[in-house]
Structure 1
Amino acid sequence: MTPAVVLVGPPGAGKSTVGALLAEKLGTGYRDTDADIERTAGKPIPEIFIDEGEPHFRELERQAVRTAVAEHPGVLALGGGAVMDPATRALLTGLPVVFLDVELADAVHRVGLDTPRPLLAVNPRKRWRELMEQRRPLYTEVARAVVATGGRAPAEVADAVLDALGLPAGPTPDITQ
């Protein structure tokens, strides 16, 4: 069992919103590894960073991605930094991964600068640019398709993801009847 679609991209790309819409359009479930991490840890991600540090969070993230890829047949959204791990990138090889590419202005508009994102806490615009310089090549490396989100409504992005992967919207018809 492998996911129908795996979404990767930076904070503000719309992975959660688009992922939920894709799941609805495909008639399948939606799962977010950040939510899995928070559920497992029993606290929000910013608290994990503060209490246990980023290395501990990244280990939780590796485990969450590995479990979700093995168990979830629907739409899967990964946290923005998941692709930094070489084992995670290897795990994504051959999967229907889509990089939701977003420009800084759109990301700022979508997430705001006052939301609790640990890696964007100090000088968020500058830090976001730095993260993208590091991560863009990795997002591209793991992606089967890249979908630009700029100037598009979430439903339009979801449709573009389906088109990019050649997936029909709606549940697969049962041809045995």
Structure 2
Amino acid sequence: MISDPQCSTLPHRLNGTNLYLIGMMGSGKTTTGQELAAALGYRFMDTDRLIEQVAGQSVSEIFAQAGEATFRQLETQVLAEVSCYHHLVVATGGGIILEPMNWSYLHHGLVIWLKVSIPNLVNRLAGDTTRPLLAHAALAEKLTTLAQARNEFYAQADLTLTIADNLRPRQVSQAILTALPKILRDDI
């Protein structure tokens, strides 16, 4: 649960508002999201896992067989459904911010950008063969290109948290819990 006394009223102040974690693949949205949900007494959801359940295929298989456009349609469908619920911490796919419609769903809650440096992402993703956008690419170059195309969208988040290379998910979660009261309005 929440260890910082200043944050002890946070679940009450959030009043069930969903928290959406955005950022590049490998930024720690899933592991941090699980920690954050546990600390708040919220449920945790990962949009990529939900898409896989809906499609009956892995994200890689969807990209390979149906293409990125089909994946993005499923992503919007899943996000639309998830946004109807409350008391959720939601880890989103790295590209969810590219579709303007998705922002209408993300703004049903608070959007938190986990900002991780490219060198740190390269260290985290080296050897990962499950990410379709990284297949057959020079990792650092591909991540740099993706970040350049996405950062202006990520920057629309309600809260940006720059993640130091040595932070563990629990520490990132605690940093979010500490930062959230500073951005909450009293009417949430």
- Which bin holds the TM-score, normalised by the shorter protein? 0.7 to 0.9
Q: In the alignment, is residue 137 of structure 1 matched against residue 156 of structure 2?
A: no
Q: Residue 174 of structure 1 corresponds to which residue in structure 2?
A: none
Q: Residue 127 of structure 1 corresponds to which residue in structure 2?
A: 142
Q: Residue 6 of structure 2 corresponds to which residue in structure 1?
A: none
Q: Residue 56 of structure 2 corresponds to which residue in structure 1?
A: 42
Which residue, out of 115, 119, 129, partners 1:101?
A: 115
Instruction: Answer yes or no: is the 8 Å Cα contact 2:47–2:92 preserved in 1.
Output: yes
Q: Which runs of 5+ in 2 are unaligned?
A: 1-14, 183-188
Q: CA RMSD in A?
A: 1.7
Structure 2 counterpart SS, 1:116: coil
Which residue, out of 135, 145, 149, partners 2:163?
A: 149
Q: Give distance in 2, aligned partners of 1:23 and 1:92.
A: 17
Q: Give distance in 2, aligned partners of 1:116 and 1:86.
A: 26
Structure 2 counterpart SS, 1:70: coil
**Deviation at residue 162 of structure 1 after TM alignment:** 1.1
Q: In the alignment, is residue 11 of structure 1 matched against residue 29 of structure 2?
A: no
Q: Give distance in 2, aligned partners of 1:3 and 1:43.
A: 30
Q: In the alignment, is residue 92 of structure 1 matched against residue 106 of structure 2?
A: yes
Q: Which runs of 5+ in 1 are unaligned?
A: 168-177
Instruction: Answer yes or no: is the 8 Å Cα contact 1:13–1:100 preserved in 2.
Output: yes
**Deviation at residue 115 of structure 1 after TM alignment:** 2.5
Q: When the two structures are superposed, what TM-score results if normalisation uses the length of structure 2?
A: 0.83
The equivalences for 1:161-172 within 5 A come to 161-166=176-181
Q: Give distance in 2, aligned partners of 1:41 and 1:3.
A: 28
Q: When the two structures are superposed, what TM-score results if normalisation uses the length of structure 1?
A: 0.88
